[in-house]
Structure 1
Amino acid sequence: MPFGPARIAPSGALSDVLVGRRAELALLRAVVAAPPSLALVEGEAGIGKSRLVAELFATSEHARAPAGVPVRRLVGQCEQLQEPLPLSPLLDAFRTAGAELAASRPANPVIGALAPLLPEIAGHLPPPLPALPDQRAERHRVFRAAVALLDRLSPLVLVLEDVHWADGGTHDFLAFLASHQPRELSVILTARTETGPLPIREALARAPSGPARVISLTPLSPPDVEELAGGILGTDLPRTFAAPLHEATGGIPFVVEEVLRTLLERLPAHEIPRRPDVLADLAVPTVLRDVVVGRLAALDEPIREILGAAAVIGVTPDDRMLAEVTGRDPEEIVKALATAQAIGLLHEDDGRCRFRHTLARQIVYESVPVAGRRWSHLKTAQALEREPGQKPVARLAHHYRLAGRTAEFVGNAEAAADTALAHGNDATAARFLLRALETDELAGDVRVRLAVKLGRAAVDGLAHAESVPILERLLASEPLPAHLRGELRFALGRMLRQQGEARAGYLQIERAVDDLGDRPALLGRALAVLAAPETVPDRHVREHAARCDQAERAARRSGERDVHIAVRIARASLLLEQGDPGSRRLIDDLLRDDRLRAVPREHARACLNWAQGALHIGRLDRAESLLAEGRRVADQAEYLRVAEVVELVTAAVDRAAGRWDGLERRARRLAGPAATFAAAFLDSRLLHGTLLAAIGPAEEAAECLGQVITVAERVGAVWPLIPARMALSRLLLGLDDPAAAAEQATAGLALVRAKGNWVWGAETVLCLVDAMDAVGEAGGAAGLVSELAAGIEGADAPVAQAALLTARGVLARSRGGEVEADRLLDAARTTLGEAGLRYDEAHAFERLGRLRGAAGGDCLEGALRLYGAMGADRDIARVGRVMRRNGVPIPYPWRGGRLSHGRSLSAREREVALLAAAGRTNQEIATELFLSRRTVESHVSSVLRKLGLSSRTELRGFALPPG
């Protein structure tokens, strides 16, 4: 027989028939019938999520697990006031499974890790396991134990309700479960949409068993509301009543039922449909408030007082605590709760009285006068204090805060934060500490103590926006001991860097170093951050190397192995970014080091940083392997904060490798308003801008790259600034503007010299050489090319080495050395091809083909095919024009399309081309032709490709082929 509550949805519903959800119910049935599976039922409050799940079990007794065993279910409820203890909803569900465990097969010994957390059923579990010294390792073992227990109870359907209220630990477990789901387990989660996207949505979408099926419930349509109301009233509804009922309730099933419940108290059911006037005074969103307040007004004062106290206590008030808070005897409490249940404010759920809906509880709560609320919160907190066992510090903090008892609130909020930190739940800890620090009456020493804890929690807790001003004010106003000042500055600097404020963060950490002399572990970590070269533009790589040396000395003084690992990671990154061949051995040694593997978050971050560094120097093979390692470790550690970084690095690797199918859409999304990791914003915009430079339109590419340059200069981020200026210079060269191209390259070159990393600047040097060559001054670049050669001597950096070979080839050609130029350019092409850098290889093919002229057909065809495979329309058009100019036949058919026979424009393309040739902007064309701007951009790009033109300026005066 199934265990857990017999019914999941709130009881007391007026309708026994599920209306308007046939497709959603069928989908949910299909998900449960094909384990392992995941379903996320989402929608606004009152939309019927729990009702849908209840209907599934009310109508699916025929569903069978293997060997004819009935499908069991476990049900867990996430509460709004949740203690910062991970897995509490799941543990509550497990407690109902004692009898089933007694009769089940032998258990996996790892399940013993749950025994201390489940004393009620510990007798049915394996013996407890010895505690692990590392808290994160302990948490991982508990996660494994929970999965093993679910597997032991399978075939099973696990239902977790209201996961939008789940604590961070439960979210982390669900992400883990999605990757390690037992094969006979189906999981159903319900969540509200108005609270924002679930933090585990990414993990649910990438589950190995297949992405979670999202079942989104929307308000009922007018016919559905008519059917629901007609079923409740037992009669057909005239349109004159059904339409205003839908309008008044917004189609939310709960509100429909509540309105009808109220009307049934006033009128006979058969009379209501003939009285649409009774709906006249009801309007969304006040309709539900009117209903509940009206129902409360009909109750006696003692019952209202008890219900008000129940709303203060929470969604599921406890009878004994209600008696203690109100001073009423148990008999009065029982009578009041029974009355509230009779009129639909409360319902019975698994033997406990519960508000039928959180909206109802909120309205009852707000009906209590403010003074009464404060008193009830105080009495509730005092009652909780007197309970035996571990204090529920999160609930105590909540009640003391609303009771106006500052000292008690702050003490319990700090205790709740400490508990959360002990469980690795940094986000929850930061939330409690932030709320405590908002208190005006804090003593100076308490404020400092809380701020120090906030600094430790907020870096990984993502509470940056709220934490930064608090730490800034504290550093500006409080006389702090040096070691605390240094710790706060270090935390503030890290948060500023993660917000994208590279220079401000770097300067804070520099200032922290002077205060951390007596704390070598923190000093070593701070210096390791300062060793990273890709931040501020005005620190030479020699200074970064000196910081790294200082960090090593601090790490030795600290004696802490984690600090030593952090410094070695920084050293490897510094060497890698300069193309130092020794970086490979150092990274390989670190990847084999058990000390790094023991810290999975550090491991994942290091791999992702190294993958980006490998891309910077053109080592695509290395970047791909490091990315795969970083993604694997991040997934295993449920490290959701780096999900966007993983996506970004994946997209950058795909760009370099020429895997461009759908890449522009991915890059646009990563650089769009939905992005949440500020530190990656500029890299995302740079990626998008470089793609647009290849596929068009050129105007949008220039705007995107210009934005990267502007923001990078403001925040002081040198890495995106140098390649952004190079990419814009390259784009301007393609638009026949060598003067502007030279200006961008010269500005980029100044940054390269200030940083001292010529590996990063090699392509910038090539752009400047090309710009000088375009105006007949290539000979003046010989000294610059020699400077580049000296800067990258011995570097393992294919991009830089190919740029040097190409620049030397341009110089050789300008001096008449065609044979030498051909040799150098072919060597550059070979270097890029062997590195797997397909887009750069296509450029090299094109350059070699241009040099060879009529004899360069094979090279130009190679470029055309590579560009075509990537969909680089602007490059395709340019190569096609070169081939026609040199009399080189364009192959047909080819994978990129019929370029040589593609001058035929569609009717719409011809309209767009004529307007563009007349000088109209994309927005003006969109307005005149009633198109979207994006559609116009697509048409312009297609026109340019078909006509073999590189920019819309060439359309002016161009003789369009006959229509």
Structure 2
Amino acid sequence: MTIVEGEAGIGKSRLVRELADDPALSGMLVLIGQCEQLHEPFPLGPVLDALQQAAPAIRPESLGAVTGALAPLMPEIAHLLPPPPPAAAEEGAARHQVFRAATALLEHLGPVALVLEDAHWADSGTFDLLSFLAFHQPANVAVLLTTRVESGPLPVVEAFARAPAGPAKVLTLAPLDSAEVQEFSRRILGVDLPARVADELREKTGGIPFVLEEVLRTLLERLPERPDLLDSLAVPTALRDVMLQRLSTLDPVAREIVGVASVLARRVDVELLSSVAERSTREVVGAIASAQAVGLLQDENDHPQFRHALAQQVVYESLPATSRRWLHERAAVAISALPGAAPSARLAYHSKRAGNTVQFVRYAEQAADLAVTRGDDSAAARFLLEVVESGRVPFATRLRLAARLGRVAIDGLAHAEAVPILTRLLDGGSLEPALRGELRFALGRMLRQQGLARAGFELIRLSLPDLHDRPALAAKALAVLAVPETVLGAHVREHADWCEQAEQAARSAEDPDVELAVRIARASLLLEQGDPAAWRLIDDVRGGPALESNPREHARACVNWAQGALHIGHVHRADALLAEAKQVMARADYVRVVGVIDLVTLATDFSAGRWDTISERVDAFVDQPAEFGGAVLDARLLQGALLASTGSATEAARALRSLIQDAEELGAVWPLLAARTTLARLLLTVEDLEAALEEAARALDLVRAKGLWAWAGEPVQCIVEARVALDDVAQIESLVEQLGANIEGADAPLAHAALLSCRAIMAHRTGDAEVERMLAEAVSTLHRAGVRLAEGRSAERLGGFRLSHGDDRGSASLESALGIFGELGARREFSRVARTMREHGIAIPSRWRGGRRSLGVELSEREREVAELAAAGLTNKEIAAELFLSMRTVESHMSKALHKLGARSRRELADALPDAATGDS
């Protein structure tokens, strides 16, 4: 016998159903009887119900006479049974006849499994039959019982412990952990939950599958996008009924005490509960034991608590509203009398629900102050949000605290909740200018962090006139406007003007923190322009005491400077700045910058050529809800750029065009410029020259509008390459000279390498002897800066030029490019270089043949065989005949091989598999 035990809703019945459907048990008859919670259950009811299901399997001619004892009890199948034997004179003998008959019928049906669901509700006759069966169980009969663990051991356990076959096997089903909640949601309902939502859902539901499924079905269409809905989750009806039924089984005193417990907290504090309920400790302990027995409470680390948050919610909502308010008032009084510092967060909670607005505001402010002191801006924002959202709090108080909310919500990542509140307050009018300016500045910063670059920028700009009497705040607002890489339209001259105004305001404010913020902004402005003075200022600020004593500003500054360094091509410097930011963040506990550091790390890894796991990490970043909407745009840029080198050109172009559309709508100059440039480069590779020229020209228009020529290198180079390929070179010389004039003296490796390449392309057309030197210098520049993909492309161009002029060093250059693309897994570039090498008769180094190791995706042996035969010119039908495969299998292998090798057609397989094409061994 096997007993499957667990609390209600844990999945016992589902396990039984899955066992019944298991193909491994296809030869076994499974009979399921359901025990019911009846005042006067029918004797042997669940067993007889189960046996009646076996009618199609009964062979009357093979039945023993004893089975006829069941005929009077099961008239539905009496015609299949022998005639009933003479009635026994004694009740005990008659019952013994029935037990023997049931056992004989089960043996006749074997192999058979008798399953009794909810055996804790079984009648005494059923338990007696099971005890009899324990000692007379046929070898071809299995017995499985399901029972609730809170109901205690079944009466038959002792009988089976003495049975010849040995004691019953007990399988206890445990609640799901967070990882299992994710898997359950994915498999059962098709909902892919973020880890943090799964954690919260597990906390609310206790990991009980029934509860979890009910909750998920309630939120099925909204949960993935709106995890905050869990905060105001309505209890599903089915779950409410179960919880209320359990509550109703308690005696009045226990019910009252459990109700008080639901007001206090999910975890039960016996002393506090005794005080608020005005009951003795004995009564409280007895009530807890009763609630545990029916499954409302459980022990967690030796402390009683509600089984899950929804159980607490059901009990809480069962109390009359007046009782709840009175109990919250009593709870506040009892908690405030506890020794030690007053727990302001708990007091704010109870004061609010007791309707005591004055006390609620007071304690909420105290809780927010304490959270800020501990560096937990997120918690501070939540406390302030409660006050500002409350219609009972006076408007003047809400306004005062809204300003504080604006300050902490940015660092506390409470944007989604704070934005609509601040928007309503601003739209309501009648605000003092200084307060209106502060709220606009705070709201503008939040909108920028959500990716709404244009809207946020404009709101901050509108805040300036209202901040003229508050120089510290005005300086911070101007410093944000001074950074040029966020918004379309504003020229670098405007950013420089805002930076000068910020410096003037900072001097008036005489605040070291404000001065530090402005110096950080000045360094970012210089950095985006490629001004060599940027690094001197950055090093000066990094080495100064102001930054050292302000770890949050330190981490934020390093991340911002790392992004700026990547924009102009200083990958090694970005690496160093990120390492510093991570070190500082670890001791600053700065939540706001964590996600941004992860994103900039991804961007740095992309530029540095660390692509081993980058695709999965980027996809995860895009798929998970981000705290900063703008960060998702940057992650989508990386996703598109990776696809452009490693995946489908069509898919990459689609992703980049979608990003371009969204970035334009939001007014975000970065990554709009980079997305257009990446798309232009992709279109060049697939020889869609006109479209490439159009995208590159639009990217250059963005550069001109910003006046930031340190960003112009790649767009100009794409234009030059496209026009040369189209044999339309009339305007490229002036464009290249314009680039050169605007970056003269700049410290911008990407722009300078592009300028060298453009000049080399033009010099090649005129036969200038400097071509080789300029191309080699471009490779060297990119290598020193650490920009791996661009270095590979430059090395490829240098190799091609050298070979076309009979310079044997071209082979080494192409091998270097091939190695870079192979290490990256850049299949499209790898195939192009391999094709060039084959055209010049250069053998592919053995470690790169097929690019198997380098491209990060192993071909199976069969895929490689199919690809090699296709590269040799065989059709799918011929390959199928050669390898004794079906046409469908060959088509499947071909599709996978093309995808893994980055080849667009069968014709490109010869380049993707150069060893097969050339015969090298």
TM-score between the two structures when normalised by the length of structure 2 = 0.68
Deviations, residues 620-676 of structure 1 (Å, cap 9, x unaligned):
222222121112111222334323322222232222222222222222223333544
- Residue of structure 1 in register with 2:409 after alignment: 458
Q: How many pairs were matched up?
A: 710
Q: CA deviation at 1:888?
A: 4.1
- Report if aligned partners of 1:19, 1:227 keep a CA contact under 8 Å in 2: no
Between stretches 786-795 and 299-308, larger displacement belongs to: 299-308
The Cα of 1:357 is off from its aligned counterpart by 6.2
Which residue number in structure 2 is paired with residue 848 of structure 1? 798
Q: Which residue of the partner structure matches residue 837 of structure 1?
A: 787
2:908 aligns with 949
Residues 427, 457 of structure 1: 8 Å contact kept? yes
Q: 2 CA distance for matches of 1:816 and 1:758?
A: 28
Q: Partners in 1 of 2:519 and 2:909 — Cα distance?
A: 47
Contact kept in structure 2, 1:944 and 1:951, CA below 8 Å: no
Match of 1:614 in 2: 565
Q: Structure 1 CA distance, aligned partners of 2:909 and 2:779?
A: 23
Q: CA deviation at 1:611?
A: 1.4
Which residue of structure 1 aligns with residue 514 of structure 2? Answer: 563
By how many angstroms is 1:359 displaced? 5.8
Aligned to 1:245: 146
Over alpha carbons, which structure has the higher Rg?
Answer: 2
Q: CA deviation at 1:731?
A: 0.6
- AA aligned to 2:146 is L
Deviations 1:504-523 (A, max 9, x none): 11111111111111111111
Per-residue deviation at 1:391? 3.4
Give the corresponding residue for 1:307.
Answer: 258
Q: Aligned in 2, Cα 1:242/1:598: closer, same or farther, shift over 3 Å?
A: farther
The residue identity in structure 1 corresponding to 2:687 is: D
Question: 2:225 aligns to what?
Answer: none
SS at match of 1:661: coil
Residue 297 (structure 1) aligns with? 248
The residue identity in structure 2 corresponding to 1:875 is E
In 2, the alpha carbon distance for the partners of 1:663 and 1:548 equals 36
Cα distance, 1:488–1:377 mapped onto 2, change above 3 Å: same
User: Structure 2 residue aligned with 1:391, among 339, 342, 365?
Assistant: 342
3-state secondary structure, aligned to 2:444: helix
Q: 1:716 to 1:356 in 2, by over 3 A?
A: closer
| Matching residue of 1:672 | 623
Matched, 1:869 2:823: yes
1:636-715 superposed matches below 5 A:
636-715=587-666
Give the conservation status (yes or no) of the 8 Å contact 1:531–1:544. Answer: yes
> How far does residue 603 in structure 1 lie from its aligned partner after superposition?
0.5
1:857 aligned onto 2:811: yes
Q: CA deviation at 1:228?
A: 13
Tell whether the 8 Å contact from 2:412 to 2:591 is kept in structure 1 after alignment. no
Q: Deviations over 1:215-254 (max 9, x none)?
A: xxxxxxx99x999999xx99899999987838xxxxxxxx
Q: 1:449 maps to what in 2?
A: 400
Report whether the alignment pairs 1:257 with 2:211. no
Counterparts of 2:118 and 2:281 in 1: how far apart (Å)? 43
Question: CA, structure 1 residues 588+876, in 2 after alignment: closer, same or farther (shift >3 Å)?
Answer: same
Report the alpha carbon displacement of residue 842 of structure 1 after superposing the two structures with TM: 1.3
- Deviation of 1:586 after TM superposition, in Å, equals 0.8
Within 2, Cα distance between the matches of 1:731 and 1:338? 69
- SS of residue matched to 1:779: coil
Match of 2:198 in 1: none
Change (3 A) 1:833 1:941: same
Looking at structure 2, the residues matched to 567 and 943 of structure 1 have their Cα atoms a distance apart, in angstroms, of 47
Q: 1:932 to 1:692 in 2, by over 3 A?
A: farther
Paired with 1:291 and 1:533, the residues of 2 have a C-alpha distance of: 59
Q: Superposition pairs for residues 137-536 of structure 1, below 5 Å? A: 245=146, 256-258=148-150, 260-261=151-152, 284-285=210-211, 293-317=244-268, 321-322=272-273, 325-326=276-277, 361-385=312-336, 390-536=341-487
Contact 1:306 1:336 in 2 (8 A): yes
2: CA distance, partners of 1:228 / 1:868? 65
* Deviation, structure 1 residue 44: 14
Aligned 8 A contact 2:736 2:758 in 1: yes
Of 732, 737, 741, which aligns to 1:786? 737
Q: What are the residue-to-residue correspondences of 1:19-168 with 2, within 5 Å?
A: none
Is the 1:789–1:804 contact (alpha carbons within 8 Å) kept by the matching residues of 2? yes
Contact kept in structure 1, 2:10 and 2:210, CA below 8 Å: no
Using the alignment, how far apart are the partners of 2:782 and 2:797 within structure 1? 13
Residue 942 of structure 1 aligns with an amino acid whose one-letter code is L
Residues 727 and 948 (structure 1), Cα distance of their counterparts in 2 relative to 1, 3 Å cut? farther
CA shift in 2, pair 1:848/1:354, >3 Å: closer
Q: Is the 8 A contact 1:487 1:522 kept in 2?
A: yes
Residues 426 and 916 of structure 1: CA distance in aligned 2, closer, same or farther (over 3 Å): farther
- Shift in Å, 1:365: 2.9
String of CA shifts for 1:799-822, please: whole Å, max 9, x gaps.
Answer: 1111111111112223343x2333
**1:715 CA displacement:** 1.1
Matched with 2:102 is none
Contact 1:601 1:639 (8 Å CA) reproduced: yes
- The residue aligned with 1:827 is 777
2:719 is matched with: 768
> CA 1:492–1:343 in structure 2 vs 1: closer, same or farther (change >3 Å)?
closer
Describe the shift of the 1:720–1:44 C-alpha distance in structure 2 as closer, same or farther (beyond 3 A): farther
Normalising by structure 1, what TM-score? 0.66
Deviation at 1:397, TM superposition (A): 2.4
Match of 1:542 among 490, 493, 513: 493
Task: Return the alpha-carbon distance in structure 2 between the equivalents of residues 912 and 723 of structure 1.
Answer: 38
Rate the CA distance shift 1:298–1:834 in 2: closer, same or farther, 3 A. closer
Check whether the contact 1:873–1:945 (CA below 8 A) recurs between aligned residues. no
Task: Write the deviation string for residues 878-901 of structure 1: whole angstroms up to 9, x where unpaired.
Answer: 1122233344444445476389xx
1:270-327 residue CA offsets vs partner (Å, 9 max, x unmatched): 79999xxxxxxx9944888666644543444344223312322234555665455445
Offset at residue 851 of structure 1 (A): 2.7
Say whether the 8 Å CA contact 2:438–2:463 is kept in structure 1. Answer: yes
CA distance, structure 2, for counterparts of residue 44 and residue 593 of structure 1: 62
Structure 1 contact 874–944 (Cα < 8 Å) conserved: yes
**Larger RCO (CA under 8 A, 6+ residues apart):** 1
Unmatched tracts of structure 1, length 5 or more: 1-16, 21-42, 48-221, 247-255, 275-281, 919-927
Letter in 1 for 2:788: R
Distance 1:445 1:793, change over 3 A: same
Aligned-partner Cα distance in 2 for 1:784–1:371: 78
Q: Is the 8 A contact 1:493 1:508 kept in 2?
A: yes
Q: Which amino acid aligns with 1:944?
A: A
What is the rounded CA distance, in whole Å, between the counterparts of 2:252 and 2:836 in structure 1?
A: 90
Query: Quick check: 2:4–2:145 contact (8 Å CA) kept in 1?
Result: no
CA contact (8 A) 1:877 1:945 kept: no
Retained in 2: the 8 A contact 1:871–1:896?
A: no
Unaligned stretches of 5+ residues in structure 2: 12-113, 162-167, 169-207, 212-236, 878-886
SS in 2 for 1:515: helix
Report what 1:726 is aligned to: 677
Give the aligned residue type for 1:811. Answer: M
Q: Structure 1 residues 245 and 938 mapped into 2: Cα distance closer, same or farther (>3 Å)?
A: farther
Change (3 A) 1:946 1:490: same
2 CA distance for matches of 1:547 and 1:511?
13
Q: Deviations over 1:725-767 (max 9, x none)?
A: 1111111011111100110011111111110010101211111
8 Å CA contact 2:542, 2:548 repeated in 1? yes
